Amino acid sequence: MPLKAVADTCFLIDWAYYRHKEALFDLFKAIYVTESVLNELSDEPVISWVSEELARGRMGLLSESPDVSSEAYRLMFLSRREVRLRDLDYPEAVCLVLGKMLDLVVLTENRAAVMAPFFLEECRDLNVWRALEVIRELILRGIIECAPNETSVRVPFEEYMLDTRHLFSPSELKRVVEVIVRCLRR
């Protein structure tokens, strides 16, 4: 089944600078952005990239209906009551709500959104992916080709960190690389 996603601001800002950003559209049939995410974009290269992809139809705009907004505010309230979870901001909460309503992968680098499925019952079944998981899937599905060894598999992650200045946790990166290498060797 083709994957569809909704992306938040922090994900789009980083991904716009990644040299393999086009691969995102080989993984996802559709990537949606919301009005509140668009309103947060201020960096010209990011705005240009998102605008071009909206015009090409590879990204789509999701509106924030009153029901979506209401549920987003409820998630924000719940996140503030859960002491183990950072506070959700409105744009990320909207992405989580739409992800659940429309069965979309939520693309984010926001820590609260990443942790929401672990601490909020309303988000329990959501697929929330960071760039780490997206790059993993790009490699596992052969969209980004790598030899089945640690050095080769690390390259797309290192390129991402170089291009975006977004650093992955060394322990998480090591674990993901080991899983990918095992899968590629099968």
Name the pairing type of β-strands 128-129 and 28-34. Answer: unpaired
Q: Give pTM, 2 decimals.
A: 0.95
Q: Please report the beta strands in the chain, taking only residues with DSSP state E, as ranges in sequence order.
A: 3-7, 28-34, 59-62, 105-107, 128-129
Give 118-175 pLDDT, tens digit per residue: 998 999 999 999 999 999 999 999 999 999 999 999 999 999 999 999 999 999 999 9
Domain 3-129: CATH architecture, name and number where available: 3-Layer(aba) Sandwich (3.40)
Domain boundaries, the chain: 3-129, 131-185
Identify the three-state secondary structure at position 103.
coil
Identify the three-state secondary structure at position 81.
helix
Give 58-88 pLDDT, tens digit per residue: 999 999 999 999 999 999 999 999 877 888 9
